[in-house]
Amino acid sequence: MSALRNFNLRDKGAEIWAGWNRPVRTVFVITFVLLVGLLPFAPSWGPTSFLNTPITSFENVLVYPVGMFVLMALGLNIVVGKSGLLDLGYIAFFAIGAYSQAILSTLYGWNTWQALPVGMGLAMISGVILGLPALRVRGDYLAIITLGFGEIIRIVALNLSVTGGPNGIAGIPNPPTIFGFEFNLMFPEHFFWLVLAMILLTIWMIRRFTVRRPGRAWEAIRQDEDVAALMGVNTLIYKLWSFVIGAAIGGAAGVVYASKVMVISPDMFKFEVSILILACVVFGGMGNIWGVALGASILAYLPERIRFIADERQIIFGLVLIIMMNLRPDGLLPRKKREKIEEKRTM
Amino acid sequence: MRLEIKDLRVHYGKIEAIKGVSVVVNEGEIVTLIGANGAGKTTILKTISGLRPVSSGSISFDGQDLNKIPAHERVDLGISQVPEGRGIFAGMTVLENLEMGKFNRKDRKNEMAEDLDRVYTLFPRLKERTSQAGGTLSGGEQQMLAMGRALMARPKVLLLDEPSMGLAPQMIANIFRIITEINKQGVTILLVEQNAQQALQRAHRAYILETGNVTKEAKASDLLNDPAVREAYLGVGAH
């Protein structure tokens, strides 16, 4: 047990990575991305056919929930993992993106690529509107405010006529063809590649941020907000930034999701989804991009894989969560190990 | 440089923690605030650095009213604080902690190197530990790191909150020796301490704080010889 608890795959991975030179790294990254890109065809290959999900189509599962959850978990990780702000209403930004796409396309004839920046922009603006008052309080209070925000967005969507009330909005068009890729029911793998591209872009962006000043500021705020302010960090602005960037990613995911499923309704944006995405972040390893991506993939895929056991699958899902969090309380791939040493000292 | 606190009142909710305190710190001085637990020493420092709001009264620095200046801008004016309990970023290395010392730094190369050099000269121990995580340092080393980090911002006035807390006697003496040295380099110091003996020996002037009020202000050397002070804060006298 303790061997499993202390084994740090992240450090092991970082060690191997550090041992490689640039060409080897490039080859590894390209191979890895290609392999992930080929996943939609995996079930037809025999040896990998165990991956296939019964009842639901594997290619669609890869887009939603798996791809979308990874994207959202990465976005939420900036807020929760990097700057340490507990956001329980993250699904609201996803909903705002989805409804932007739905309304703009059905009422004004905008296509997905035109709606994408608008959906992200609206999510970011709502991030600022929520963040400015909410980020002045800390910890539990912030969590409750964000929870309230998530519910408000859903209830507003449930009651407005422009959002179609409880029936939601139907007839959202698929994205138009781009770079020769068609997006419709015939090509779920194209959607997967689109989401994969968004995930890669997000990872690249987060890594940029983390090594630069915002990353330092977030880290300082997460560890001790007062001391961060003493050092000259404008804590409100940097917290707001992490909130807004997280919101933009959630919004982008929502836009693409709406144009994939073509019908959206308020019950897709319930509180449970926020919690599930938070679970992905914690399960994978708060603050570590690779851990979060892995955690989200597993938690999104598992319920679909065991869908054939019907009612009991949620119990099994819960058991897996409990057992895993006991075995690896810091997640599958925890963040840098040096903090662990400190935790031991202060205990 | 002159730090002037006038008739300061600070509240925690409805409870008045600071009840009209006036303190002056002149350029080049070491001024100490001594007093028991809960007297309001830390609150005063936090109010100077902007972490606690002022209820009434004023704090001015170089003739500038600090009330409207947010906490994160005060470090750029020349006010650095070493917080209570040191406030080391445990997950960052020693070097990263020091770099955080002045977050809004414009010249990131030459000036930073100069400041690092100065800190490493004062605290050679930190130089040996640059790539070690802040959280893995001993208590004394963490105190040095916290002071070094504050000095990275080239403060005009350094606010020290209980630098001796939880340290071995030898380390305490060492830290106080360094405080005097920093002061000799031209940094004004406002020192909050429970270790009144050391604080009064090193300071020029002292204020005694009791439950939110200043009850005495005098030259530190006078207080060292004051029988009432000796009995109350130095643990010697008529028993």
A123-150 per-position pLDDT tens digit: 999 999 999 988 888 878 988 999 999 9
For B87, the closest of A224, A235, A341 (CB atoms) is: A224
Give domain status of residue A125, yes or no. yes
pTM over 0.80: yes
Give domain status of residue A169, yes or no. yes
Give domain status of residue A336, yes or no. no
pLDDT greater than 90 at residue B41:
yes
Whether residue A227 and residue B89 make contact (CB cut-off 8 A), yes or no, is yes
Give domain status of residue A285, yes or no. no
Whether residue B75 and residue A231 make contact (CB cut-off 8 A), yes or no, is yes
pLDDT of residue A341: 45
Kindly list the structural domains of chain B, giving each domain's residue range(s) and its CATH number in brackets, ordered by start.
2-233 (3.40.50.300)
Asked if residue B149 lies in contact with residue B122, where contact means CB atoms within 8 angstroms, the answer is no
Give domain status of residue A130, yes or no. yes
Model confidence band, residue A347 (pLDDT cutoffs 50, 70, 90): very low
Partners of residue A138 in chain B, C-beta under 8 Å: none
Structure tokens given for B182: 């920093």
In three-state form (DSSP H/G/I as H, E/B as E, the rest C), the secondary structure along chain B is CEEEEEEEEEEECCEEEEEEEEEEEECCCEEEEEECCCCCHHHHHHHHHCCCCCCEEEEEECCEECCCCCHHHHHHHCEEEECCCCCCCCCCEHHHHHHHCCCCCCCCCHHHHHHHHHHHHHCHHHHHCCCCEHHHCCHHHHHHHHHHHHHCCCCCEEEEECCCCCCCHHHHHHHHHHHHHHHHCCCEEEEEECCHHHHHHHCCEEEEEECCEEEEEEEHHHHHHCHHHHHHHCCCCCC
Please state, in angstroms and rounded to a whole number, the distance separating the CA atoms of residues B227 and B236: 9
Q: Which of A231, A236, A237, A337 to mutate to test binding with chain B, by most B CBs within 10 Å of its CB?
A: A231
pLDDT greater than 70 at residue A6:
no
Mean pLDDT of the region B85-101: 92
Helix (H, G, I), strand (E, B) or coil at A181: strand
Model confidence band, residue B64 (pLDDT cutoffs 50, 70, 90): very high
Which residues sit opposite A100 in a β-bridge?
none
pLDDT of residue B4: 95
Whether residue B90 and residue A216 make contact (CB cut-off 8 A), yes or no, is no
Mean pLDDT of the region B137-144: 93
Mean pLDDT of the region B62-75: 93
Please state, in angstroms and rounded to a whole number, the distance separating the CA atoms of residues B32 and B192: 6
Give domain status of residue A250, yes or no. yes
B170-227 per-position pLDDT tens digit: 999 999 999 999 999 999 999 999 889 899 999 999 999 999 999 999 999 999 888 8
Partners of residue B83 in chain A, C-beta under 8 Å: 226-227, 230
* Residue A213, domain extent: 59-271
Give domain status of residue A38, yes or no. no
Task: For residue A11, give how far its alpha carbon lies from the nearest alpha carbon of chain B (Å).
Answer: 15
Give domain status of residue A152, yes or no. yes
Q: What total number of domains does chain A contain?
A: 1
Q: Which chain A residue's Cα is nearest to B132?
A: A338
Which of A23-37, A96-110, A270-284, A311-325 bottoms out in mean pLDDT, i.e. has the lowest? A311-325
Structure tokens given for B203: 């300071």
Q: Which of A213, A223, A227 to mutate to test binding with chain B, by most B CBs within 10 Å of its CB?
A: A227
Residue closest to B91 by CA, chosen among A335, A131, A187: A335
Task: For residue A250, give how far its alpha carbon lies from the nearest alpha carbon of chain B (Å).
Answer: 28
Model confidence band, residue A345 (pLDDT cutoffs 50, 70, 90): very low
pLDDT of residue A343: 45
